[in-house]
Amino acid sequence: MGATICTDKVILNQWHPISSVDDLKNNEQGNTILLEEDLSFNKISDEEVLIWKSADPSKKLLQAKLKYGYLWTTLGHPAPDLFSFPEFYEIDRRNVATGAFGVNISAGRAIENFLDMGHFPFVHTGILGEEPHTEVKEYDVSISENDDEILATKCQFYQPQAAVASSEGTDVEYIYRVPHINCAILYKSSPVDESRQDAIVIFVQPVGPEKVRAHTGMCIIDDKSADADIRLFQQTIFGQDKPILENQLPKKLPLDSRAETPIRADKSAIAYRRWLSQKGLTYGVIPSKDINLSRFT
Amino acid sequence: MDIEFSKWFPVASTSDLPYRHIFQAQLLGREYAIWRADDGHVNIWENRCLHRGVRLSIGINEGSELKCQYHGWRYANRTAGCTYIPAHPADAPARTICNNTYQSQEKYGMIWTCETPDGTVPEIEGFGSYTVLRPIPINSSYKTIENFLTNVGIPKHQFVKSKSTVAWQFKLESGTQISFFIQPQNNNISILRGIYSLHIEGAEKIKILKHYNSIMVEIRDKLEKQDSPQLPDLEPKISQVSDQLSKIPVYGNQNQRFHLRVTVTEKVRISDNIIKLKLKSIKEQLPTFHAGAHIDIQLQNGLIRQYSLTNGPGETDHYCIAVKIEKNGGGGSKTIGENIAIGDVIAISSPHNSFPLLRNSKHTIFVAGGIGITPLLSMAKALHSMKLSFEFHYFTQSQDLSAFQNEIYKLGKNTNTYIDLTIDQTLSKIEKILETPSPLNKVYVCGPGEMIENTIKIGNDSGWNESNLRYEYFKNNNKIDNDSTFQIELARSAISLNVPSGKSILEVLTENGIKLESSCEQGACGTCKVSVLEGDINHQDVYLNSSEKRKGKVILTCVSRAKSDRLILDI
């Protein structure tokens, strides 16, 4: 594998998304940056993609994995399997890659924004939220030790237009999963089938400690909307988040509990910061000086 | 350069702060959000919201508060204290989140600050009047620019040794002066600022600005061509919030009580000291209220306040309250006066009706003093719409006269307003109003404590039956004694509890999971009243009248206690 610029084992030993499968073209070289390293990749068949460090004259291959609509690679030694995401394989769902967004911010800040409901009325006004429906009601957060992931359930938030077909707003229920330090999945009731949930994903590619590409995707039960409309929706939402994210100071996610002021609405973000601290992550974050990390409430 | 955190530096021109703008500046690595409030005060705050670090300079200057773009939090002019968190209208903890603020001074057409500056901005000789030049950013260190100004200078100008350590002064033959200042944004980038020692306008000003702009650009070009060593950038220290603020506030038990969510749709100053608020429900229908009812409001700073509804009958799509802004009053009226804005979401309780209007009287007399008019107004509106007989007497000060004039006018003919009476004049008026007692009539009085006491006394002396003299205190001025220790037995639930000194019956009940409705919690509103089956009561409230107190069949659990060893309560 050779020396890497990034020396943080926690982030090195992860699978990282670098491209949507849709964007890969046979025998056409692509280039990207992961953890400050220039990488090149080339899809040679539907099953096989070659990835190497661009500057490596020997083109020694990095591990590659095609899963959940994305191409994943690593600069370290991750567990062989990615987290589970069974909805991706349900045959009546559509998986739409809704675009990769370059953002000058750390991966942690981007994930935290994805978990945050309180900003909907102010940042996604008229789409995901609207004043005066600003209250974030109590929800549950847990860290599953078996799966090593954060789960936030019973999240509810008022959405001005719950479905394309409805003209009235209503409370929508959300579930958030953080199964990977830089990936999160959001489930919300499907406007087409109330018994099932649409999934919206964000897989963040850390380009550097303060620079990411956020790969977004939707895994939804909807046979009507055109791909272009689904992409446009997600791009509108992310386009609203980007200027906020790029104006966060510091850009790295501070893990010290006394760096910022949480409120109850931030329970999932607090769990996320503690989870990262317990893993000993140092890349893209400002590590906590808090010694007592076991005290999770 | 040596880091000089105690020296004053200019960080903006006055013209950088137009109406309702927020200007972003940087000094010694730290970013500042600089904004002028409508009262003229220039706020210099660290440029990050303490919640999630978003730059405040992308927020909104609302005139007296700055609103963060991310979650709509609002911070007050001057103090930078957070006044509104839209995500949690209810159950606000009694803590104040404050952004980091820095000293600010406005002098020589510029805004000055630093981390911890000493004294005041130094005087610069010869600049009684001035014109501010266009500032020029330069990719150079403070030291490099300082050396240039001291050793090279500018053509046709003579360097004047300045008494001040912040200015580099130059003189023309004509005697007019230029003074330069250096604002070190960080170690390798600075802003060169300047002022000209005459106040000039129009074409002359443009000529001078252009002239010195080209001189300053020349300075920049020369400096940027120099091969100066690059210093590492300064990383501003991010100060920690207090331990208390770093913790997620606990989920309190207030949520059930404050279960209604309303939004402020109107906020009008109806007199010098009185503000009227109109509250509309966000989702569900507001519960029915009766004339005389009040609601509890949870304010953002954790305070809880009671306000009577002034609604007329049938006005069921909103609640109206009127709030007196006490000049040196507590946080409640101040918060409502200064921090609640139209569109804000607030949490309120259902209406409590502990001052009910009985409609079986032949004739009703209302005696209102000051802001005590609010519950009586709602009652009189109800009687007026039912065409029942009443008379309305309102004692007020001229400054508040305008507040309810329109509403009183609509009550018809039997209304009297008395303005600025002395205590003696008021008492003799009340004597006159109550001179003919009748068992078929009722008197309702609300106002300052002393006025209520006197009205009851006059009523009693004139021969009114005590049960026909009805009143509501807004607050209990009695000193509450909570030293005693006693037992309470709950007859219906067969539970026995100990009430220790320092705790009220209400608190002991709540701690043991027994929910009892309460509101003012100071013995004024009567919401927490329960029946007593056995035991002697030490009444400390101002709600029960003296015959009720004598009978000893009810107790206000928030303040009153037992004289005997135990009380048996009917709950």
A255 in a structural domain = no
Q: Give the Cβ contact number of residue B425 at 10 Å.
A: 12
**In a shared domain, residues A68 and A213:** no
Range of the domain at A66: 9-73
User: Are A43 and A166 found together in one domain?
Assistant: no
Model confidence over B30-87: pLDDT tens digits? 999 999 999 999 999 999 999 999 999 999 999 999 999 999 999 999 999 998 999 9
User: CATH number of the domain at B1-121, out of 3.20.20.70, 3.40.50.1820, 2.102.10.10, 3.30.460.10?
Assistant: 2.102.10.10
Cβ <8 Å between B85 and A121: no
Residue A100 and residue A69 in one domain: no
Structural domain includes residue A241? yes
Give the span between the Cα atoms of A142 and B467, in whole angstroms.
Answer: 58
Does B70 contact A123 at a Cβ distance shorter than 8 Å? yes
Cβ separation of B54 and A122 shorter than 8 Å? no
Per the CB < 8 Å rule, is B52 touching A243? no
Mutate which of A106, A141, A247, A267 to test chain B, going by most B C-beta atoms within 10 A?
A247
Distance between CA A8 and CA B359 in Å, rounded? 78
CB of B447 closer than 8 Å to CB of B395: yes
CA angle B512, B515, B518 (to 5 degrees): 120
Q: How many Cα atoms are found within 13 Å in the side-chain-facing hemisphere of B532?
A: 27
- Has residue A37 got a pLDDT over 80? yes
CA dist B195 and B130 (Å) reads 6
Taking the CA atoms of B206, B210, B216 and B217 in sequence, report the sign of the dihedral they define: positive
Q: Which residues of A touch B32 (CB under 8 A)?
A: none
- Give the amino acid at A97: A
Please report the pLDDT score of residue A293 as a whole number.
38
Pairing state between β B363-369 and B441-446? parallel
Q: What is the mean pLDDT of residues A136-144?
A: 93
Cα–Cα dist A207/A106, whole Å: 9
Q: What is the pLDDT of residues B148-193, one digit of tens each?
A: 999 999 988 999 887 778 999 999 999 999 999 999 999 999 999 9
Select from 3.40.50.80, 3.30.379.10, 3.10.20.310, 3.90.76.10 the CATH code of B363-471.
Answer: 3.40.50.80
> Same structural domain for residues A110 and A239?
yes
Q: Identify whether residues A107 and A233 lie together within a single domain.
A: yes
CATH number at residue A207: 3.90.380.10
Name the residue facing B52 among A248, A258, A267 (closest C-beta): A248
For residues A137 and A232, state if they share a domain: yes
Q: Which residues of A touch B240 (CB under 8 A)?
A: 256, 258-259
Q: What is the DSSP string of B190-251?
A: EEEEEEESS---HHHHHHHHHHHHHHHHHHHHHHHHS-PPPPPPP----PPPPHHHHSPPP-
Structural domain B260-343, CATH architecture: Beta Barrel (2.40)
What gap in Å lies between CA A264 and CA A139, rounded to an integer?
9
Helix (H, G, I), strand (E, B) or coil at A21: helix
pLDDT (tens digit per residue) in B355-375: 899 888 999 999 999 999 999
- Using the predicted structure, report yes or no on whether residue A294 has a pLDDT greater than 50: no
- Find the CB nearest A263 among B87, B90, B240: B87
Please tell me what DSSP assigns to residue B349.
P
Q: Is B242 on the interface with A (CB under 8 A)?
A: yes
Q: Buried b / exposed e across B254-279, counting CB within 10 Å, b at 16+?
A: beebbebbbbbeebeebbebbbbbbb
Instruction: Say how far apart CA A246 and CA A249 lie, in whole Å.
Output: 8
pLDDT of residue B2: 52
**A143 CA: distance to closest CA in chain B (Å):** 17
A 186-245 residues inside an 8 A Cβ radius of B: 243-244
What is the residue-wise DSSP string for B363-422?
Answer: EEEEEEEGGGHHHHHHHHHHHHHTT--EEEEEEE-GGGTTTTHHHHHTT-SSEEEEES--
Q: Is the confidence at residue A296, as pLDDT, over 60?
A: no
Residue A179 in contact with residue A149, Cβ under 8 Å? yes
Same domain, A170 and A67: no
Clarify whether residues A52 and A178 are in a common domain. no
For residue B52, which of A270, A124, A198 has the smallest C-alpha distance? A270
Distance from CA of A97 to the nearest CA of B (A): 27
CATH says B486-569 is which class? alpha beta
**Which of B49, B52, B233 to probe the A interface (max A CBs under 10 A)?**
B52
Indicate whether A260 belongs to any domain: no
Chain B contact for A54 (CB, 8 A cutoff): no
A152-174 CB burial, b ≥16 within 10 A, e <16: beebebbbbbbeeeeeebeebeb
Q: How confident is the model at residue A64 (pLDDT cuts 50, 70, 90)?
A: very high
Would you state the pLDDT for residue B531?
93
| A261·B51 Cβ contact <8 A | yes
Q: Does the pLDDT of residue B268 top 50, yes or no?
A: yes
Could you tell me if A46 and A165 lie in one domain? no
Question: Mean pLDDT in chain B?
Answer: 91
A262 touches chain B (CB under 8 A): yes
Third-level CATH fold of B123-235: Alpha-D-Glucose-1,6-Bisphosphate; Chain A, domain 4 (3.30.530)
Mean pLDDT for the stretch of residues B514-529: 85
Answer whether residue A194 is part of any domain: yes
B238/A264 Cβ within 8 A: no
d(CA A33, CA B210): 46
- The DSSP call for residue B98 is B
A137 shares its domain with A62: no
Tally the domains of chain A. Answer: 2
- ipTM for the whole predicted complex goes beyond 0.90: yes
Task: Report CB contact under 8 Å: A262, B71.
Answer: no
Strand partners, A51: A41
| pLDDT tens string A234-261 | 999 999 999 999 999 999 999 998 899 9
**To the nearest whole number, what is the mean pLDDT of chain A?**
92
pLDDT at position B272, please? 87
What CATH number is attached to the domain comprising A39? 2.20.25.680
Domain boundaries, chain B: 1-121, 123-235, 260-343, 363-471, 486-569
The secondary structure element, H or E, covering residue B145 is helix B142-151
Residue type, B297: I
Q: Within an 8 Å CB–CB cutoff, is residue A136 touching chain B?
A: yes
For chain A, say whether B238 makes contact (Cβ under 8 Å): yes
A112 interface with B at CB cutoff 8 Å = yes
